Structure 1
Amino acid sequence: MSDSDAGADAVIAAAKPYRINHLQLSHEIVHDLREVREPAKQAQANRLTKAAHDAGIAEVAIWDHSLYDLDYYPAEFRTGPGGTIDLDDPAFWEWFKQDYREMLHLVPDIDSVILTFIETGARVERQHSAKLTTAEQKLAYLVDQVAEVIVDERGLGLYLRTFGYFPEEMERTIGAIALVRNPHVKVMAKATPHDFFLTHPNDSTISRIDRPVLVEYDAAGEYNGQGKIANAWPEEHVQRLRHYQTLPNVIGYVARTDRYDESRIIGTPTEINLYALARATEDPRVSVETIYHEFAARTYGPRAARDVASALSKSYEIVTSVLYSLGTNTANHSRLDYEPYCSSYHRSVAGKWIDPPVTYVRHGVNKRFHFWIDVVDHLSPAACKTDPTLAREAQYVLDRGWVTMGDHMTPKYLEYVLTEKDHGVRVAESALRDVVKAGRDLKPEHFEQLKAYFERTVLTARLHRAVAAAYFGYRIYVRDEQQRTTKMKRLIWDGLDDAQRVAEQIRTYPVPAAGGEWDWVRDAAEAAKYHDRISQGWDRYGGIAVPRP
């Protein structure tokens, strides 16, 4: 949740209709429990806890990460090699537990804690111990010390939030959870491994956790538009929910409702994602089509329901064609960024979690691709292939020759990308036409909301299509002198000119979307960077400029 009081109150008010009995105070409210020592955060956390309880929400959880940064802990305990914490020192753990007691005393009415215990702060697995000889043992011991205070002393709930950038890290996390001794500790895991990407598979580790598990869904679309463009996909959430409903250890779900500031999805078309999760939980047999129609009728009226449902149902097709390229997400937390953001080409690749790492791309392309040999090796800029993250998290793709050094973008792959982007534009325009068609049956405020939602979607799709043409075309132009033809120059400059035109429409658009992590209007400035780099020469590419044909 964001730290917007109005937003938090709106989320709490929406809980009852969705039969929500669990609320998490996270991210901008409290990300680390130590933040409750700040008077403003303490007051907000306590106010929201009371408001949630008053609204009938039985369990209010607060987020935490452990360990914190190394310098948070007194120097007297940092006596291990290289100034690390000596985990074998009983005095450290007494200090550690007393610290938790004092923090919990400041938020006396919370019911549970959500603990991220891996990939955080000083990282307990990097601290010194002669007794705890593996990362899994150190992680499990940390959890048991936290649980001693939260669970045993305070009688609160404790959920361990799983995380891993690559399969081996997830295996370590699952191994650590298996070593936790406290029998009352539960787990919270994302519906997808690593992070919330639409082309990722379900998290296969959940079935192996011998503890009650809450499954976390991202209804707000951190990587997929953050509710500012078409982000309505009941099929995505319902399909995953129904899989997890078959697992005996899964006890429920949680769903993100915003991505900072005023980006909450309550009261927007994206709220359909919350409706879908609740509806599919209530009725395991309800169809996705029924969910679209019910939400549209309840929210926008029965006369407009058919056309509104049609528009909303195109969201998944649009976003997986626009913010994704050939199956891999090529946006930076929804922001326009084909380069220098490298995670699109290593950390966020769905192929890390699929064996064999193959996908079938529709969107007019209609072709099967190997995530590494085909997609990454061609779409990735050379600089991202030498990024240490690729070797650290997927060394095997280099060892097997699936990804090779250098820039391998080709005209054929440019054609695939632009075919997909063109498809995204067409579907976005079709969805906007659905809304216009429904206009006569919509209340004015509903029509304006939906129209802005899909107009932003169309502009985003057009901008990505234009920038993709210029960017990927430029890379071909740079690497192959034989491709420096008038035709290629024209394709690149058509992209640059189109991007400038669409960017101006975005800058002057009268309904730019609520604030949040992704500043939708900023994409216009991002597009301008590509224009300057390509027309004037990009230092990453030897300063080669493309002259206007």
Structure 2
Amino acid sequence: MKVQIKYLVVTFFAFNLTIWAKPEMEIRSWQLHKLDMDYCKKVMDEASKYDINTIVFSHEMIWTTMQLYGTGARKTEKNGVGEKLRELAKYAHDKDLKVWIWTHELADVPAKYLKEGIVQMDAPGFWKWLEDRYAKMFLDFPEFDGLMMTFHETQYKIFDNSEVASKLSMPDRFQKLINSIYKSCKKNKKELIVRTFVYEPEQLEWLKQGLDNVSDDIMVQSKCIPHDWEPFYPHNPLIGAFRNKKQIVEFDCSSEYTGRNHIPYTSPEYFSYRWKYDMTFPKVVGYNARLDHAGFDALFTPNEINIYTLAKITQNPEMSPDEIWVNWAKERYGQGASKGIIDVLKPSFDIVNKLFFPQGVWFTRHSWLPAFDYADSHISYINKWYKEEYIDVTEELTNPNMETFSQVREEKDEAIRLIQKSLWQLLSVKGKIKEKEYNDLQERFTLLLQTGLIWKSHITAFMGLKLLKSHPELKPIVKGAINNIQQLAYNIPDKQVYKPVADRDEILKISKGFEKLLSKY
């Protein structure tokens, strides 16, 4: 590689931070994704232990408000989810927790405001219809204390002219939409939180301009990074960008892009790095931590340390990652096992990064193994958010040479060696922790080893296919890697709850795609 990217854990602390003195972070929130009544209540029972005061319902629980009634494009239950969420909201209130719900806009637009499938945002009555929809929702469901609104990954994106037609500029569209929903929130004494999640830098700027011209009573929520959960991204440029608006920082403890909590990804250094940076801005008033992805929760797993880190740094910004490690390990596993547990788990951050992010670059399909075209098309994404730091790296991953081929494979080999070392070190705590906890750690690291072996074969096949035209001698190596992927997939037990990088059938499908490409040589 022309540029050697150092791993984050090495470079996080080469700067000083001045953290504004704040008597208490106003918002300390957990976000739930899966509508499992028992699970949600179990999580809320844990909230006081982490000084949490707000719960957010999102994703599989609710995507648009029409799901409350069992209608709309994303309806999930015939009779709607409204009564279940009402019950959970009441349970939360009994625990002194506020409740916010997600909503995506625009969505479920009536036919009279559509023309050839495109929303006519300037049509007479459109904005009153939208305000009335939220006014009705608050009347029907007074248990919800606020809305968290997001604009992407929705039915009609207001910044996409192929989906929404309007004479308004892009910033003005954001402003108008936010103001319209804010009217219903204000009238009903509900909070409005606007997420700044979009895909492109230009869209981020439009959204910022729109937010600059709405009421300062509206809160802003921004991810700690500018797009999706790539740990090598820079800090989100919108953190601290709103001079007069309270801002919440969103974190992913659900490991959406790093194994979905199936495997260890214990990252106090990372979460401390991000959150301490965010806390330097005076208008940052809290955090929102995503807890679960598709029902796989960070709580009750080794990855709970990431949730623990956010809570402890909030209470004491001077606390170091090393202190967090020691305190958490003692609390969870006991004094006698704490050092051994740290030795076992601490490398997992580097391990997963080396497996999932070749040379620090995102090309995974969330946590799942990517097909050739998906991986190839995502290599350059990181360049959107850096000026030029990754250009040489992404260029060589896109057009690799034999040195690149060796480096990315060695990266996976190093991760596999670290996994094996952790498995050996795990033996040092056998008998010092509960048998159930020992078996859980052993299962997760065995799965991590399985994951590493699949990723090694995947990157070998992927990069080898790129090189075959100029290096036909690689064909047996590529064929062997594809065979390894298939054999590893067949080794996955039918009833295995935790998955390494995808279901067996999906892994086999990807390998078949590689075989088709190989047949051309």
What range describes the TM-score normalised by the shorter chain of this pair? Answer: 0.7 to 0.9
1:150 aligns with 2:190: no
Check conservation: 1:37, 1:103, Cα contact below 8 A: no
1:64 aligns with 2:99: no
Residues 27 and 432 (structure 1 numbering): CA distance in 2 closer, same or farther, change over 3 Å? same
- Structure 2 distance, partners of 1:343, 1:37, is 41
Residues 241 and 5 (structure 1 numbering): CA distance in 2 closer, same or farther, change over 3 Å? same
Residue number in structure 2 paired with 1:96: 130
Residue number in structure 2 paired with 1:274: 307
The amino acid that maps onto 1:235 is E
Tell me, what secondary structure is at the counterpart of 2:212?
helix
1:166 aligns with 2:200: yes
Check conservation: 2:369, 2:501, Cα contact below 8 A: no
Residue number in structure 2 paired with 1:307: 340
The alpha carbon displacement at 1:511 in A equals 5.1
1:29 aligns with 2:61: yes
TM (normalized to structure 2)?
0.86
Q: Summarize deviations over 1:282-303 as a string: whole Å, max 9, x none.
A: 1111111121222222112221
Write out aligned runs for 1:174-213 (5 A): 174-180=208-214, 182-210=215-243, 211-213=245-247
Out of 416, 421, 425, the position equivalent to 1:425 is: 416
The amino acid that maps onto 1:484 is P
The alpha carbon displacement at 1:311 in A equals 1.8
Residue number in structure 2 paired with 1:294: 327
- Structure 1 distance, partners of 2:493, 2:123, is 61
Q: Which has the higher contact order (CA 8 A, sep 6+)?
A: 2
The amino acid that maps onto 2:110 is Y
Out of 442, 447, 466, the position equivalent to 2:438 is: 447
- Structure 2 distance, partners of 1:121, 1:279, is 38
Residue number in structure 2 paired with 1:50: 90
Check conservation: 2:222, 2:238, Cα contact below 8 A: no
The alpha carbon displacement at 1:428 in A equals 1.5
Residue number in structure 1 paired with 2:482: 496
**Mean Cα displacement is larger for which, 494-503 or 271-280?**
494-503
Tell me, what secondary structure is at the counterpart of 2:232?
coil
Check conservation: 1:25, 1:62, Cα contact below 8 A: yes
Check conservation: 1:336, 1:523, Cα contact below 8 A: no
Check conservation: 2:370, 2:510, Cα contact below 8 A: no
Write out aligned runs for 1:236-247 (5 A): 236-247=270-281
Alpha-carbon RMSD across the aligned residues, in angstroms, is 2.2
Out of 513, 522, 544, the position equivalent to 2:502 is: 522
Tell me, what secondary structure is at the counterpart of 1:197?
coil
Check conservation: 2:34, 2:293, Cα contact below 8 A: yes
The alpha carbon displacement at 1:118 in A equals 4.9
The amino acid that maps onto 1:44 is K
Residue number in structure 2 paired with 1:385: none
Residue number in structure 1 paired with 2:386: 354
The alpha carbon displacement at 1:343 in A equals 7.5
Out of 472, 492, 498, the position equivalent to 1:484 is: 472
Tell me, what secondary structure is at the counterpart of 1:199?
coil
1:13 aligns with 2:50: no
The alpha carbon displacement at 1:409 in A equals 2.8
- Structure 2 distance, partners of 1:429, 1:100, is 54
Structure 1 unaligned residues grouped into runs of 5+: 359-370, 381-407, 514-518
- Structure 1 distance, partners of 2:136, 2:45, is 31
Q: Summarize deviations over 1:238-267 as a string: whole Å, max 9, x none.
A: 11100011101100001000012x311211
Tell me, what secondary structure is at the counterpart of 1:247?
coil
The amino acid that maps onto 2:508 is A
The amino acid that maps onto 2:374 is Y
Check conservation: 1:296, 1:309, Cα contact below 8 A: yes
Residue number in structure 2 paired with 1:391: none
Which has the larger helix fraction?
Answer: 1
Residues 129 and 418 (structure 1 numbering): CA distance in 2 closer, same or farther, change over 3 Å? closer
The amino acid that maps onto 2:493 is T
Residues 322 and 448 (structure 1 numbering): CA distance in 2 closer, same or farther, change over 3 Å? same
What is the total number of aligned residue pairs between the two structures?
477
Tell me, what secondary structure is at the counterpart of 1:441?
coil
- Structure 1 distance, partners of 2:322, 2:333, is 16
- Structure 2 distance, partners of 1:23, 1:287, is 27
The alpha carbon displacement at 1:528 in A equals 3.1
Identity over aligned residues, as a percent? 24
1:254 aligns with 2:288: yes
Residue number in structure 2 paired with 1:216: 250
Check conservation: 2:347, 2:418, Cα contact below 8 A: yes
- Structure 1 distance, partners of 2:253, 2:416, is 23
TM (normalized to structure 1)?
0.82
Check conservation: 2:368, 2:501, Cα contact below 8 A: no
- Structure 1 distance, partners of 2:36, 2:95, is 18
Residues 138 and 500 (structure 1 numbering): CA distance in 2 closer, same or farther, change over 3 Å? closer
Tell me, what secondary structure is at the counterpart of 1:179?
coil
- Structure 2 distance, partners of 1:63, 1:83, is 24
